[in-house]
Chain A
């Protein structure tokens, strides 16, 4: 009796201690292991940005950022559906990532030096090169951003947007009032009701949010681009293996496009003699194993999600409501004069 309870207490204490070491391990390294253990990737996306991450009428998540989450799941599990989405506001996103609530953030997030060095984040690449723009009601008759002295401006809180707009107005010696909301929908509602003269965010974001206005055609996007906003997927610092998985998921999609491998032809491409394609699709070498996943990782991504160009055109391209034409833009492949360039798989 006496001994058993004493032993019980000691065992409990011991269990707490072992659990502690186990937890510490799971958190600081081995995201890939914990993802594999959970059976799904927990992916942080935005709360509703058409073309990037947005729920369609049937309640399914769609968008280029969502497709990237699916691609990670396809790489890790061979199943693009083994992914769960956590919608996050701009303000919440980094805390959610560093606390381990999500495994990766794929949410129109700008790669900046502060975020990279001070916030404990690692950017795995760029999946959309963007810049900040401004939209005004056409009725105001403004044609350049330098005419905006005294304007009131609506935007999202916790973003680079707030900093850029402040810099822009300060350096042009203009006064302004900044009204910063947490949720994108509230920014749109406030701008739509006339609270602000200007709506500012990433240009892709403007193209998307404009669709939510009562009369999208009554608004003009000003020509100026006031910042560089390289948007890309983000992971926690300190876990190189997981960082590699996410980074090479992106590189796989870009390389596949460059080599002409698409979701339509990937099955036939598996028989290709081209050594580059063989390495890409895992019929030669152990590139997947070196990442800690299967050698067919990239073939799975392309088959189930598509290459970079395919996800671009399907979600934000010229034929979508966003109408962000890719030809001749910075988001074209480097072979087409754009910036999309991935290191080789070899």
Chain B
């Protein structure tokens, strides 16, 4: 459009090449083409340079390495529970998935914890109770302003220093079902048998039933104004139905407790426990959540919660005060006002910046390498990369993982945001 406003000073009488150059459209096109060629040339150069440098250094390329087996042990984590991790058997592709699972594990749990904590602190920030408000303010100012890496290292070392040693049962709960010492949090491991599928189906059925009840109750309330405690009824259904089926099919799951061994104990196979071997032994039952995961999770969620708290505070303040007054006038309690009037409106302001906090938490989890938690950066783009040496392929795979996680998170949050949008009638 802009081109047309420029006066055509030479008209068409020059003819030939000159006319073409004076023609603003043609000239624009020419420069665009040159620029495009330059950009293509630039990337071609980078590619060519990379290939020739790799060749000069005699380095391999391609993804064949993914089938080779790795030779190192990986810390016990969710990834090593779910995926083959034995050295000499696990391939580098397995290592990749172990890293992905571990990154997802800390990101998902971290997001849930940070959200709960962030909402609480954010609401405390606006509380009329001076102690709550003061605590929330100190929390936000402190955690937001200390570099995350320092917090991670701090929590890790503090966790390690506080927890009792490996050869003590440490803090236990429920008669040894749970135990916490420097090796981590030991918990029961569910062992399932045939029939668990029925229980699972019952659970899904109950979910569906609860949803149906809620839907009918809502329709009825719209029609008649009568309320129904659909939340509690739904909850009761979701718990009761699977539980009944569980007992009916003969309890197809039991919990294997972690076993603590003291030096000198006798093992089932007749050997006695050595001094080194003393401690919890998850080969005999139970599972472990290592302190590296706990420290990383703690640091990531506490840190991110301080940002979420500010977002929540801003969101609540953005809801016009008249809304609360109107709710009060209708006789709503403080809780009802918050739950039914303020939060739903605040969410519209909160969700978009919340999404970027979720993405931040996920990306920040890559600091895991500092405290030996085997996330994707640490175990795949670190340990494995050092054995294989194919930086380009491996960093590319790692970047794709973060990209996919980010896109999926954003897509989900956008969908959620759409649902929360003001529906104008």
Q: Is A170 positioned at the interface, with any CB of B under 8 Å from its CB?
A: yes
**Is A186 a contact partner of B370 (Cβ separation < 8 A)?**
yes
Query: Count the B residues whose beta carbon is within 8 Å of the partner chain — how many?
Result: 62
Q: For residue A115, which residues in chain B have a CB less than 8 angstroms away from its CB?
A: 389
Residues of A within 8 A of B153 (CB): 186
Q: How many Å lie between the Cα of A40 and that of B291 in the bound state?
A: 44
- CB of A189 within 8 A of chain B? yes
- Count chain B CB atoms within 10 A of each CB in A12, A157, A186 and give the residue with the most: A157
Contacts A13-B38, A114-B387, A179-B75 hold; do A28 and B371 have CB atoms under 8 A apart?
no
**Would you call B72 and A150 a contact (CB within 8 A)?**
no
Contact A157 B59 (CB under 8 A): no
- Tell me whether A150 and B386 are in contact (CB under 8 A): no
Interface assignment of B421: CB less than 8 Å from any CB of chain A: no
Q: A28-B56, A194-B165, A195-B291 are in contact. Are A6 and B21 (CB under 8 A)?
A: yes
Establish whether residues A140 and B276, one from each chain, have CB atoms under 8 Å apart when the complex forms.
Answer: yes
A-facing mask of B361-400, CB < 8 A → 1, else 0? Answer: 0000000011110100010001101111101000000000
Once the chains are docked, how many angstroms separate the CA of A177 from the CA of B27? 68
Task: Assess A178 versus B276: contact at CB under 8 Å? Given A91-B383, A95-B391.
Answer: no
Instruction: Give the residues in chain B near A150, CB-CB below 8 Å.
Output: 274, 276-277, 279, 281
Q: Which residues of A contact B160 (CB under 8 A)?
A: 190, 193-195
User: B193 near A: Cβ within 8 Å?
Assistant: no
From B21, B48, B57, contact of A236 by CB (8 A): B57
Is B53's CB under 8 angstroms from A27's CB?
Answer: yes
State whether A180 and B75 are in contact (beta carbons under 8 Å apart), knowing that A16-B38, A24-B49, A91-B382 are contacts in the complex: yes
Q: A119 at interface (Cβ–Cβ under 8 A)? A: yes
Q: Are B275 and A141 in contact (CB under 8 A)?
A: yes
A321 contacts chain B at the CB level, 8 A cutoff: no
Provide the bound-state CA to CA distance between A60 and B73, in Å: 37
The digit string for B5-31, where 1 denotes a CB below 8 A from any CB of A, is 000000000000000011000010011
The smallest beta-carbon distance between A53 and chain B, in angstroms, is: 19
Find out whether the CB atom of A238 lies under 8 angstroms from the CB atom of B73. Answer: no
Which listed residue, B22, B166, B383, touches A157 by the CB 8 Å rule?
B383
Contact B57 A195 (CB under 8 A): no
Q: Is A248 an interface residue (CB 8 A)?
A: no
Q: For chain B residues 291-306, which have a beta carbon within 8 Å of chain A?
A: 291-292
Which residue of A91, A150, A159, A190 has the most chain B CB atoms within 10 A of its CB atom?
Answer: A150
Contact A237 B283 (CB under 8 A): no
Q: Are B88 and A170 in contact (CB under 8 A)?
A: yes
Task: Give the docked Cα–Cα distance between A20 and B389 (Å).
Answer: 25
Does B414 count as interface, using CB distance less than 8 angstroms?
no
Q: In the complex, are the beta carbons of B277 and A149 less than 8 A apart?
A: yes
Residues A118-158 near B (CB distance < 8 A): 118-121, 140-142, 147-152, 154, 157-158
Residues of A contacting B53 with CB < 8 Å?
24, 27-28
Task: Closest A residue to B183 by CB, please name it.
Answer: A152
B129 surroundings in chain A (CB, below 8 A): none
Closest-by-CB residue of B relative to A157 is: B383
Q: A17-B41, A166-B72, A194-B165 are in contact. Are A179 and B292 (CB under 8 A)?
A: yes
Docked complex Cα distance between A121 and B56 (Å)? 11
Given contacts A119-B389, A120-B58, A162-B383, contact A178 B277 (CB under 8 A): no
C-alpha spacing A156/B324, complex, angstroms: 57
Contacts of A6 in B (CB 8 A): 21, 30
CB distance A163 to B71 under 8 Å?
Answer: yes
CA distance A150 to B262 in the complex (A): 13
Number of interface residues of A (CB under 8 A): 68
Among A5, A151, A167, A193: residue with most chain B CB under 10 A? A193
> Given A149-B276, A158-B383: A178 and B75 within 8 A (CB)?
yes
Q: Are A166 and B73 in touch, CB under 8 angstroms?
A: yes
**CB pair B73 A237 closer than 8 Å:** no
Q: Are A120 and B59 in contact (CB under 8 A)?
A: yes
Q: Are B276 and A197 in contact (CB under 8 A)?
A: yes
Task: Determine whether the beta carbon of A190 is less than 8 Å from that of B372.
Answer: yes
In the docked arrangement, what's the CA distance between A178 and B366, Å? 19
**How does the 8 Å CB contact mask read for B44-77 relative to A, with 1 for contact and 0 for none?**
0100110011101111100000000001111110
Mask for A179-198, Cβ within 8 A of B = 1, else 0? 11111001001100111010
Q: What chain B residues lie within 8 Å of A28 (beta carbons)?
A: 52-53, 56-57
Q: With an 8 A cutoff between CB atoms, is B407 at the interface? A: no
Q: Mark B155-191, 1 if CB is under 8 A from A, else 0.
A: 0110011000110000000000000001100000000
Q: Which residue of B is nearest A239, CB measured?
A: B56
Is the Cβ of A176 less than 8 Å from the Cβ of B73?
A: yes
Instruction: Give residues 260-284 of B contacting A (CB, 8 Å).
Output: 274-277, 279, 281, 283
Assess whether B389 is in contact with A94, with CB atoms less than 8 Å apart.
Answer: yes
Q: Quick one: given A157-B382, A179-B372, are A23 and B49 in contact (CB under 8 Å)?
A: yes
Tell whether A62 is near chain B: CB-to-CB under 8 Å.
Answer: no
Contacts of B370 in A (CB 8 A): 181-183, 186
Contact for A182 among B27, B45, B60, B382, CB less than 8 A = B382
A294 contact set on B, CB distance < 8 A: none
**With the chains together, A157 CA to B377 CA distance in Å?**
12
Contacts of B281 in A (CB 8 A): 150
B372 A24 Cβ-Cβ under 8 A = no
- Residues of A contacting B60 in the complex (Cβ-Cβ under 8 angstroms): 118
With an 8 A cutoff between CB atoms, is A346 at the interface? Answer: no
A151 to B183, CA, bound (A): 11
Chain B nearest CB from A216 CB (Å) reads: 19
**B73: which A residues are within 8 A, CB to CB?**
162, 165-166, 169, 176-178
For the A-B complex with A98-B389, A118-B59, A182-B370 known, give 9 more contacts whose Cβ atoms are closer than 8 Å: A28-B57, A118-B60, A120-B389, A162-B72, A178-B75, A180-B383, A186-B372, A190-B372, A238-B57
* A interface, CB within 8 angstroms of B: 2, 5-6, 9-10, 12-13, 16-17, 20, 23-24, 27-29, 90-91, 94-95, 98-99, 114-115, 117-121, 140-142, 147-152, 154, 157-159, 162-163, 165-167, 169-170, 175-183, 186, 189-190, 193-195, 197, 236-239
9 interchain residue pairs of minimum CB distance: A120-B57, A158-B386, A119-B389, A238-B56, A150-B277, A120-B59, A28-B56, A193-B160, A20-B45
5 A–B contacts, CB within 8 A, in A order: A10-B34, A16-B45, A118-B59, A189-B157, A236-B57
